[in-house]
């Protein structure tokens, strides 16, 4: 499976859910046009996923609606991105009680990473890749 990560170095408002989804929608349109030009059946078109967490973001509902309309899959991380990443590397028990930074220190690569919010392709484990497939299977259809 080929994995490309877009928007990994943007900061601030460009990392808000609505901005991430808008960028993902643009990418999905480009990928769909290319797939059509190449004569691919729709079932073989690339997938575009958008990952964002709950934190204190506004316009989550608007972002989810826009993604659904554009056929962009969403991995909605609750309570935060850091806990989601940790769950893909080791078993976790207990609660983080809104203190997601505690999860960051428990990531196996935390000391080597300049920014743990940036996902590098070599950090995506088979378990992590499989979770995307599982999320797609369990996502509500509509």
- Give the pLDDT score at 94: 65
Comparing C-alpha atoms, which of 47, 51, 53 is closest to residue 71? Answer: 47
Beta bridge pairs of residue 73: 49
- Mapping DSSP onto H, E and C, the string for 80-139 reads CHHHHHHHCCCCCCCCCCCCCHHHHHCCCCCCCCCCCCCCCHHHCCHHHHHHHHHHHHHC
- Give the pLDDT score at 112: 62
Comparing C-alpha atoms, which of 48, 51, 4 is closest to residue 27? Answer: 48
- Give the pLDDT score at 138: 44
- Give the pLDDT score at 16: 82
Per-residue pLDDT of the chain (142 residues; tens, 9 = 90+): 566 777 666 666 667 888 889 999 999 999 999 999 999 999 999 999 988 877 667 788 899 999 999 999 998 877 777 777 777 777 776 666 656 667 777 777 666 656 555 666 566 655 555 554 554 444 444 4
The whole-model pTM stands at 0.65
- Give the pLDDT score at 58: 78
- The CA–CA distances, whole Å, from 65 to 31, 88, 109 equal 20, 27, 34
- Give the pLDDT score at 30: 95
Question: Which residues 6+ apart lie within 8 Å of 120 measured at CB?
Answer: 5
- Give the pLDDT score at 76: 83
Residue 64 and residue 20 in contact, taking contact as beta carbons nearer than 8 Å = no
- Give the pLDDT score at 31: 93
């Amino acid at each position: 499976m080929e994995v490309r990560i877009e928007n990994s170095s943007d900061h601030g408002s460009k990392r808000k859910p609505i901005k991430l989804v808008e960028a993902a929608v643009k990418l999905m349109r480009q990928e769909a046009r290319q797939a059509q030009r190449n004569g691919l059946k729709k079932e073989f078109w690339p997938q575009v996923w958008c990952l964002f967490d709950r934190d204190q973001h506004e316009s989550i509902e608007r972002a989810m609606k826009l993604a659904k309309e554009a056929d962009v899959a969403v991995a909605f991380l609750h309570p935060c991105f850091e806990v989601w990443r940790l769950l893909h590397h080791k078993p976790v028990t207990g609660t983080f009680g809104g203190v997601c930074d505690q999860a960051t220190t428990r990531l196996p690569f935390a000391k080597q990473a300049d920014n743990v919010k940036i996902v590098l392709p070599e950090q995506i484990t088979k378990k992590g890749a499989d979770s995307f497939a599982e999320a797609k299977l369990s996502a509500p259809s509509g």
